[in-house]
Chains A and B, each alone.
Chain A
Amino acid sequence: MAYDWLKGIKDHYDVVVIGSGLGGLTGANALAKCGHSVLLLEHHYQLGGLATWFTRKGGHIFDISLHGFPFGMVKSIRKYWSQDIADSIVQLKGVRFINPQFQVDTTFDREDFTRLLIERFGIAPATVERFFTDLRAMNFYDNNTETTGEMIARYFPGRDDVMRFLMEPIAYANGSTLDDPAITFGIVFSNFMSKGVYTFRGGSDVLIKRMADELKKNGVELRKHVAVEKVLTEETGGQRRVTGVVANGRTICCEAVLSNANIKNTVLQLAGEENFTPDFIAQAKAVRINSSSCQVYLGIRKGETLPHIGDLVFTSDAPRFSSEELVGLHTRSRTFSLYYPDTRPGSERYTIVVSLNATYADWKTMSEEQYQTEKARLIEESLASLERFIPGVRGKIDWMEAATPRTIEYYTRHWNGTSFGTKFEGLKVSMDLPSQLPGLHHAGSVGIIMSGWLGTINYGIIVANQIDKFLLQKKRTAA
């Protein structure tokens, strides 16, 4: 008989958390600290969701989404995890742009961007100041219909080099385009500009291990290899509510579910259309999924070294920035993340991860043969590009591998293999979920602003607050 990954669990929990991405982990931790019994179920054999890593022959460890996050992580990790974990967050100072329009080195913060916009791009200081101040003051509730492209053009008309400088990194960070609402750019860009780009020293593996230790300490029951198939509901007194989940074929009762699966998976598959009003289902179906990613992993042979060419290098051969070019099958825009030995102190190893934005549909329809050919092309093009910055690097590499939107779909089960959740409208569906079906909550990459490491951690807390309130009300009524 197959191993029972649910062996020894209880029949009932206050909350079942579906998925162990940063939103799920953080929500689970907060709820356990509030005194609720929490069961967290992850279908993969590893916790972390997209905050993940893998090891390969030759002693390589590759990080998937450890390219950089805003300074706000220090505060959120300290408050919602521990001071100890927060102490490993360090700044990445070497951010570079290399494209036909400009070559720039920056620390990626407001001060340095101000300097570059004035000195390198010749923008009037007052305009730069106004841009940053206005952006900082943008409010989620403002109901502004301006797009990011329109907003940037308003401050820097006719300057598509400035557009690229401002937009390209954010498009890599969250899959947003010039057509997305300006507020999504304003929030994420301001978060980065406040103090620059940060990383977690020790790597994703160490971060997730420390989080798992913290969860166990706080009493969360953690189970991997467990896929939740269904959220169970029941109608009492004319109101449907959550009663449990089916996972690995077994029924587990609970008062509330926190789903860290994609919002469309949550509504349309895990809960199912029968639990919602037709209007809500129409809204959920209309939510547009964000773009996906390809990556190329290059492992440097033990004993070899690399020159320090920067931590995060945004490169493109495209003449100008275009949101369409960035996600095309034949995009010539790539981010190189270079991991030097200080990423994992004591390891002496170097790795390079190349990230490209991608469109799921391009990859989904390929035959197996074409799929292998296209992956080989991705690797070859990335190597050719890298050779221009690090001549001879090819000879130092002893592991090469590519991942695509299909890989993301396989490991996370996310709708259309999305890397960055949904477009803006997904946030409303996510937030309205519990009023449609009491007990069902969603926290995870959604609406562009609630994505990335910082966004999902904070959203996990926002939703945990609502679940805590819901559970206490329930406990009080029952008492």
Chain B
Amino acid sequence: MTKEDCKKLVVDIIADIAPDEDLSTIKPDVRLRDQLQLDSMDFLDIVMELRKRHGIEVPETDYPQLASLDSCADYLTPKFATKG
């Protein structure tokens, strides 16, 4: 999986959590919170969906790694790789 694939999976999840948001213009290097109306419950939903859909566990201490699409990709892509 490439980092671009990984970003797409994250965007798919956000699209379900926040259906009213326009996701076509997200800037990957800007914090998601600063460009979308996402609160801490929404980030928790992202964590739950990563587990449910992809079997990926994000420990609470790593939640800050999900700040932007770029940081998500840096953090999650290796996790997808080890999952096989």
Contact = CB atoms under 8 A, between A and B. Distances in A.
A79 B45 contact: yes
A472 B51 contact: yes
A269 interface: no
A346 B45 CA distance: 37
B51 A468 contact: yes
Q: Is the interface of A mostly helix, strand, loop or mixed?
A: helix
A469 B44 CA distance: 12
B47 A465 contact: yes
A465 B44 contact: yes
Contacts of A472: 51, 57
B41 A458 contact: yes
A75 B40 CA distance: 13
Contacts of B17: 79
B43 to A, nearest CB: 11
A468 B45 contact: no
Contacts of B52: 34-35, 468
B48 interface: yes
Interface in B1-58: 17, 41, 44-45, 47-48, 51-52, 57
A462 B44 contact: yes
B41 A469 contact: no
Contacts of B41: 75-76, 79, 458, 461
Contacts, number: 24
Contacts of B45: 79, 461
Interface string A401-445: 000000000000000000000000000000000000000000000
Interface string A1-43: 0000000000000000000000000000010001100000000
B83 to A, nearest CB: 12
Counting contact residues on chain B (CB < 8 A from A), the size range is: under 10
Contact of B51 (A76, A461, A462, A469): A469
A327 to B, nearest CB: 31
Interface residues of A, number: 13
Nearest to B16: A79
Interface string A455-479: 0001001100100110010000000
Nearest to B57: A469
A461 B57 contact: no
Contacts of B51: 468-469, 472
Contacts of A458: 41
A35 B51 CA distance: 12
A365 B34 CA distance: 54
Contacts of A76: 41
B16 to A, nearest CB: 9
Nearest to B58: A469
A35 B55 CA distance: 13
Nearest to A472: B51
Interface string A25-65: 00000100011000000000000000000000000000000
A457 to B, nearest CB: 10
A343 B51 CA distance: 40
Nearest to A33: B52
A79 B17 CA distance: 7
Interface string A311-343: 000000000000000000000000000000000
A462 B60 CA distance: 12
B45 to A, nearest CB: 6
Nearest to B41: A458
A468 B48 contact: yes
Contacts of A461: 41, 44-45
- B41, B45, B52 pick with most chain A CB within 10 angstroms: B41
A450 to B, nearest CB: 12
Nearest to A457: B41
A429 B51 CA distance: 26
Nearest to A458: B41
Contacts of B57: 469, 472
A469 B41 CA distance: 16
21 contacts: A30-B48, A34-B48, A34-B52, A35-B52, A75-B41, A76-B41, A79-B17, A79-B45, A458-B41, A461-B41, A461-B44, A461-B45, A465-B44, A465-B47, A465-B48, A468-B48, A468-B51, A468-B52, A469-B51, A469-B57, A472-B51
- 8 closest Cβ contacts across the A-B interface? A465-B48, A458-B41, A34-B52, A465-B44, A79-B45, A462-B44, A79-B17, A468-B51
Given A461-B45, A465-B48, A469-B57, 16 more contacts: A30-B48, A34-B52, A75-B41, A76-B41, A79-B17, A79-B41, A79-B45, A461-B44, A462-B44, A465-B44, A465-B47, A468-B51, A468-B52, A469-B51, A472-B51, A472-B57
